[in-house]
Structure 1
Amino acid sequence: MKLNRSLHYIFWRWHFYAGLFITPLLITLSLSGIGYLFREEVENFIYKDLYFGNSEQTESLSMSESVSLTEKKYPHYTVTKIIHFKDEHNTRLTMKNEHTGDQKYVYLDNHNQIVGDQNANETFASIMRELHSSLLVGGTIVNYLVELAACWTIFLIVTGLYMSIKRFKNTPIANARERSKRLHSIIGIVFTIPLVLLVLTGLPWSAFMGKQIYNITTSSESLGYPKLYMAPPESQFKELPWATRQETLPQSDFTEQSTLLIDELEKKLNIEKPYVISLPNNSKGVFTVSKSSGSGITGMHVSPNEEITAYFDQYSGELISKIDYRDYGLFAQWFSYGIPLHEGHLFGWPNKILCLLTALSLLFLIYFGVKMWLARKPQGKLGAPPKQKDKKSLFVFILIMIVLGIVMPLFGFSVLIIFIVEFSLYLYSKIRVKK
């Protein structure tokens, strides 16, 4: 009984401080996640003229003619991708500035005439994505903070679940604080699995664990990809499926033949929309045609088992190599399903509603958590739960933290820092007492 009671207070104390410090980040991640979840509906409305409108020109152009015309209209910009959507969306050209690296989106109607353009970094989806992943600031430290918030969320779920089960057994509902505590517990228990899934499926994008996950998937063919398709750590082809996004691209044989026209390639493709054609960026580059389940682009997502990445020689148009879902290893296949689950489009509207309810549950957990804290907080004091000195309880707690630290190294590193600070403060207090 003493062990359970002492462990409960240890969990409560760490749960309290963890929740207190990461609450601002969790609120930001939840709200930006909801915004990104409904990017398709928002963008289809605010960009409807670009997405579905028509140019005043009625003459039909071939895609190669349209690409040439677009590059003439936007000096210093080069077309890098052609995106064909699955519905009534206009075709989108992705352009990159050869001097600054900035990206621009240009939309073509069904005659391949230019409808309009937009800055790639200023779209609603891009802003929500950057806010969700890097708080619009970017940089390694900020990305680590976002990932750390996700890791500590797992800790909050584990400790909260333990305390909630104990609470239901021992706590009567006597006042407003206890009602808030009961609602906090019920929401946490009901949404435990969705919350864990939401956090875990977001880790492939993270700065530290995302890289470790990718390294694991490329270390074994049974986990990741065939040796032929092993990849460097980064890729500029953001619309490729996650599983092949970082792989080394094959190269075309350099010949004296003229460059294969885009129109000829499209005639050869036996593939249904939506798909992306990434254009060669040098004399040895290839045409890359891909379908992705987790592209992050409105109107582009497909079922994971429909993912495909194919490479074509830019001069002969011949298929060099092809990767599809069946070539992925265990982890790669799992992430191909996990990413669209996180984005809310794996199984249509039910997926989106589930993600919305999960994000809202996190906000309600924060609300009721703060409410019951304020109800018990003494005036002028923080109101943190008391420290515990029971050695058996501390041993069990440290063991749990070690396990979580191994599973989530960034979490483990942050806990180590906290222990060092705590120990330093303890030594300092002892020195002051002696003086």
Structure 2
Amino acid sequence: MDTIPTPRTPGRWRFYRAVWRWHFYAGLFVLPFIAWLALTGAAYLYQKPIDRWVHHDLKVVAPSPQAPALPSAQIAAVTALSPGDVFRYTTSERTDGSVEIGVLRPNRQREVYYVDPTTTQVLGHLPDKGTFSGVVRRLHSLDLLGDYASALIEIAAGWAILLVLTGLYLWWPRGQKGGITTVRGQPRQRLFWRDLHAVTGVWVGLVLLFLAVTGMPWSVVWGKQVNAWANGQDYGYPAGVRVQVPMSQQRLADATSPTWSMEQARLPASALPHAHHADAEKHDGHEGHGGGALGDLSPQPGAIGIDAAVQRFNRLGLTPGYSVALPRGPLGVYTASVYPEDVAGQRVVHLDQYSGRVLLDMGYADYGALGRGLEWGINVHLGQEYGTFNRLFLLVACAAIVMLCVSGAVMWWKRRPLGGIGVPPLPKERRTVAIVFALLCVGGVLFPLVGVSLLVVGVLDFVASGGWRTPGPSRN
């Protein structure tokens, strides 16, 4: 049988049991989530090659020596087949790739049409974010669970942080000869699974900690609060936003899918070529609200048009594969955005829809220190920043995280008592449990939803254990 390592002092032993109890609760709640996130995250690491394979007929075209047709001709080919308003035009990232044209249908559904850039042949269409990688990302973010998904992600990430920190404390060598860097026993023994869990966890736990922290920006409470706090500050919000140009009430997130730190960024306003300020103010006050409504997408008199806008973006040197969000209303702008694998290549450019003048041109270098740090962490989290190495490292880490979850489940199954769930025993002094619980609650202040869940579990554990009292005699 395996044994729990015995520390040299009773005090350390009491804390070991208290920490073990909370490590058990953390694992009980989040191991299924962690395994799910690891599996879906591993698939998302290779989103582009998988999408090209799954949607080959839509995304891949025969390279042609001829120059691509004008964007307006490509858009006309789509609108001839599908009624609706075009809200986004995405250039091809590769010479053998199709262009993507987003259409808002009369029923308010968003569709993406794939077009051969040279022949303007419409290859087919999918719902917006309906590619294989789009579905995997929705599965990974638990969007299929509805409005509560972001809350679950925040709680799971917070408990994963707790799981890692308590696990490192339990792993810390206390005189034992095995289970630190080596695995003892045989697969039929719990000792084998305990050591496998500990040895795997000690190195992959740091990766899991990084993924949990860098996944927090997408959460519903902590993420939004930090985003709002970072935006509008020199250390977070892109410095290039604070320029002397009129700003509208429209936000970048209403028109495209920006980086996390840019979700609250407001769009500049085009200068009207004639005096229709009342009409402009009406559009400015209502567009972009109501669940991400796109507003008036009809072409405005005097606008330069998509062809001139794309030519201007090309001359500015944007990385191929950039998306252009079309203007919304008389104050709208042409917005080009691109987020390549190298975070330093991120860029957003806004053009006045009438004059073609650059109103705003910002990139990663314009972000504050906090914004750069957060975006770098997100890029590494997505497996993009360091190319093949980043993806392979995270792929191995995802496999190890799944192994961590499996070994933890097997270890629990082998030690659980009949008719019970096998909660680790309390130390003799209930003050020890209270101290550990109070320390955990400090982290709950930083992550509010996690803190609420900690209080709920703590109260239930306190009541169920009769006030954290050990029911029988203890050798400790």
Q: TM-score, normalised by structure 1?
A: 0.88
Deviates more, 1:244-253 or 1:111-120: 111-120
Determine the C-alpha separation between the residues in 1 that align with 2:103 and 2:175.
58
CA contact (8 A) 1:79 1:93 kept: yes
Residue 235 of structure 1 pairs with residue 253 of structure 2: yes
Residue 16 of structure 1 pairs with residue 24 of structure 2: yes
Deviates more, 1:82-91 or 1:187-196: 82-91
Amino acid at match of 1:280: P
Give the corresponding residue for 1:177: 190
Give the corresponding residue for 1:370: 409
Amino acid at match of 1:63: P
Give the corresponding residue for 1:53: 61
CA contact (8 A) 1:82 1:93 kept: yes
Alpha-carbon displacement from aligned partner over 1:357-410 (angstroms, at most 9, x marks no partner): 221111111111111112222233322211234255234313421222123222
TM-aligned CA deviation for residue 248 of structure 1: 0.8
TM-aligned CA deviation for residue 15 of structure 1: 1.3
Alpha-carbon displacement from aligned partner over 1:15-47 (angstroms, at most 9, x marks no partner): 112212222222221211112122222211111
| Greater fraction of residues in helix | 1
Give the corresponding residue for 1:297: none
Change (3 A) 1:279 1:91: same
TM-aligned CA deviation for residue 335 of structure 1: 1.8
Determine the C-alpha separation between the residues in 2 that align with 1:168 and 1:351.
36
Amino acid at match of 1:37: L
Amino acid at match of 1:105: Y
TM-aligned CA deviation for residue 98 of structure 1: 4.2
Superposition pairs for residues 284-323 of structure 1, below 5 Å?
A: 284-292=331-339, 301-323=340-362
Give the corresponding residue for 1:384: 423
CA contact (8 A) 2:236 2:368 kept: yes
Give the corresponding residue for 1:163: 170
| Selected match of 1:247 from 251, 254, 265 | 265
Determine the C-alpha separation between the residues in 2 that align with 1:242 and 1:318.
26
Determine the C-alpha separation between the residues in 2 that align with 1:388 and 1:310.
60
Q: TM-score, normalised by structure 2?
A: 0.81
3-state secondary structure, aligned to 1:236: helix
Superposition pairs for residues 136-285 of structure 1, below 5 Å?
A: 136-139=144-147, 141-166=148-173, 169=176, 173=184, 176-218=189-231, 220-226=233-239, 228=242, 235-255=253-273, 258-269=302-313, 270-271=316-317, 272-285=319-332
Amino acid at match of 1:216: W
Residue 83 of structure 1 pairs with residue 90 of structure 2: yes
TM-aligned CA deviation for residue 266 of structure 1: 2.2
Give the corresponding residue for 1:103: 111
TM-aligned CA deviation for residue 262 of structure 1: 1.5
3-state secondary structure, aligned to 2:88: strand
TM-aligned CA deviation for residue 415 of structure 1: 0.8
Deviates more, 1:77-86 or 1:123-132: 77-86
3-state secondary structure, aligned to 1:137: helix
User: How many residues get paired?
Assistant: 419
Give the corresponding residue for 1:134: 142
3-state secondary structure, aligned to 1:61: coil
Amino acid at match of 2:375: S
Residue 123 of structure 1 pairs with residue 125 of structure 2: no
TM-aligned CA deviation for residue 317 of structure 1: 0.8
Determine the C-alpha separation between the residues in 2 that align with 1:62 and 1:203.
41
CA contact (8 A) 1:33 1:132 kept: yes
Amino acid at match of 2:377: G
C-alpha RMSD of matched pairs (Å):
2.8
TM-aligned CA deviation for residue 265 of structure 1: 2.0
Determine the C-alpha separation between the residues in 2 that align with 1:411 and 1:7.
22
Determine the C-alpha separation between the residues in 2 that align with 1:60 and 1:368.
55
Change (3 A) 1:209 1:429: closer
Give the corresponding residue for 1:298: none
TM-aligned CA deviation for residue 333 of structure 1: 0.5
Change (3 A) 1:395 1:426: closer
3-state secondary structure, aligned to 2:59: helix
TM-aligned CA deviation for residue 54 of structure 1: 5.4
Deviates more, 1:361-370 or 1:267-276: 267-276
5+ unaligned residues in a row in structure 2: which ranges? 1-8, 275-300, 470-476
3-state secondary structure, aligned to 1:136: helix
CA contact (8 A) 2:116 2:122 kept: yes
TM-aligned CA deviation for residue 148 of structure 1: 0.9
Alpha-carbon displacement from aligned partner over 1:310-340 (angstroms, at most 9, x marks no partner): 1101111111122222221111101221112
Determine the C-alpha separation between the residues in 2 that align with 1:346 and 1:244.
18
Residue 34 of structure 1 pairs with residue 42 of structure 2: yes
- Indicate the percent of aligned positions where both proteins have the same amino acid: 26
TM-aligned CA deviation for residue 305 of structure 1: 1.5
3-state secondary structure, aligned to 1:202: helix
Amino acid at match of 1:194: V
Amino acid at match of 2:213: L
TM-aligned CA deviation for residue 116 of structure 1: 2.0
Residue 94 of structure 1 pairs with residue 112 of structure 2: no
Determine the C-alpha separation between the residues in 2 that align with 1:183 and 1:24.
18
3-state secondary structure, aligned to 2:223: helix
3-state secondary structure, aligned to 1:85: coil
3-state secondary structure, aligned to 1:207: coil
Deviates more, 1:191-200 or 1:414-423: 414-423
Give the corresponding residue for 1:421: 460
Deviates more, 1:387-396 or 1:174-183: 387-396
Determine the C-alpha separation between the residues in 2 that align with 1:365 and 1:99.
46
3-state secondary structure, aligned to 1:235: helix
Determine the C-alpha separation between the residues in 1 that align with 2:47 and 2:223.
24
